[in-house]
Chains A and B, each alone.
Chain A
Amino acid sequence: MVDEQAPSEGFPHMEPPEVQPPKRTIPGALGCMTLILAALILIGLVTLHFYSMGNYSTELNVDGAHQFSGKLQEVRKVLFSDRYKLALILTNNQALILPPLPSPLENGKPIFLSIRPGTCVDGDLSVKGGFLRDLSLNLGDRKYHFDADAGWLVVTDTPVPE
């Protein structure tokens, strides 16, 4: 400490700066925690979205045409998206999961949601540059065609043979 009565020579007279009490500590911490929590929730939601989007059969990424035939096991919805993955059991009992696709609509409702497990599914898809180019799908007695640029182009009702 500097003696106030000391002569002016030597060290100058120094006053310690006045320490202000911290202001709004609790609201600040709460704000930080809320931000961190919001970021964690956002990470969780994004993770769920990408988790539900992944895990399709990557052998379908190879350029060329691929044919498939089997029965529908289940329709998996991609979370926070209008896309669906069709999980099939092929005729040789192997599993095949198509890449995430938007569903064709009927009366404003996605058709993929109304298909029952066990429905016969066959079709073919073509891949160009590593990405899905188009897909023809026969679902039960109906035929659909998907183009990567134009979306669902042709929806034809095939007449059921009597």
Chain B
Amino acid sequence: MYQNLQGLPHGDLDLSGGIPIFELLGRGWRVFFSTGDIFLAFLLTGVIIMGSGFTLFSGSMLVIGPMIAGLSYYLLKIVRRETVTVGRIFDGFNLFGPALAIFLINGLIILGGTLLCFVPAIIFSIWYSFIWYIIADGERDIWGVFTKSKELTAGYRWEIFLFMLVCGLFNFLGFLICGVGLLITAPITMIANVMLYDLLAAHKGFGVRNPNYGLPDWSAGSPLGSAVPPSAPEEPPSAEPIT
């Protein structure tokens, strides 16, 4: 249990005994079905990525990075129970340059790993599985995003591999339902991944959940790796009138 995650859907989980894979998926399921907006955000992201591919040569390539960054930002806010609207998935375009660069570099790294008999690709995808959440959390140095993601996974890589396998199987089950089920299983696994990111960051004392996080734009500095300590838990209001 981590102080700076108290009051969140994954606030009572702990990584001391390893990654609670099925518990994370269960929490992801609950968060997904607690609001309809996650489905709409995911569908909109998919439609825009595919639509840009149809209308513009290499259009998807230009759009995927910012859209995934925007979706990651949106999911982080949803999981952290902060007020957010579906329209914020387009906020990724405020970071068009870094998001595009990160998408291309990550693609090249994974491609290189695939050419080297596939196993390095799996290792790289484990190392860099949290890059989008790190950029959404304020990191602006492109290579810093990759190094911090790698640092975050240290000590948990086999378990993250197992987590990815379980998520893959879950998504495959969704795909079997006319492919439509994937629209539900994929966001659930993404939410579980966001929770895992938050838990890993809290476990290692990165203090990612910065009290200044809820800024209206993406101009926040990097809370990851900086001297910002884990934020003190906020006292839940005993009775907050909203009349």
Contact = CB atoms under 8 A, between A and B. Distances in A.
The answer on A and B forming one complex is yes
Interface of A: 35, 38-39, 42-43, 46-47, 49-56, 58-59, 61-70, 90-92, 94, 96, 99, 124, 128-131
Given A65-B237, A99-B34, A129-B11, A43 B242 contact: no
A52 to B, nearest CB: 7
Nearest to A65: B239
Interface stretch (B35-43, B53-61, B205-213): B35-43
Contacts of A61: 81
Given A39-B179, A42-B178, A62-B7, A130 B81 contact: yes
Contacts of B243: 67-70, 90-92
25 contacts: A38-B178, A39-B178, A39-B180, A42-B178, A42-B180, A46-B180, A46-B184, A47-B43, A50-B40, A51-B36, A53-B36, A54-B39, A54-B86, A55-B36, A62-B7, A62-B236, A63-B6, A63-B7, A64-B236, A64-B237, A64-B238, A65-B239, A129-B8, A129-B12, A131-B9
Contacts of B9: 129-131
Contacts of A94: 242
B149 to A, nearest CB: 25
A126 B110 CA distance: 46
Interface of B: 6-9, 11-12, 30-31, 34-40, 43, 81-84, 86, 178-180, 183-184, 236-243
A55 B37 contact: yes
Which applies to chain B's interface (DSSP): helix, strand, loop or mixed? Answer: loop
A133 to B, nearest CB: 12
Contacts of A67: 239-243
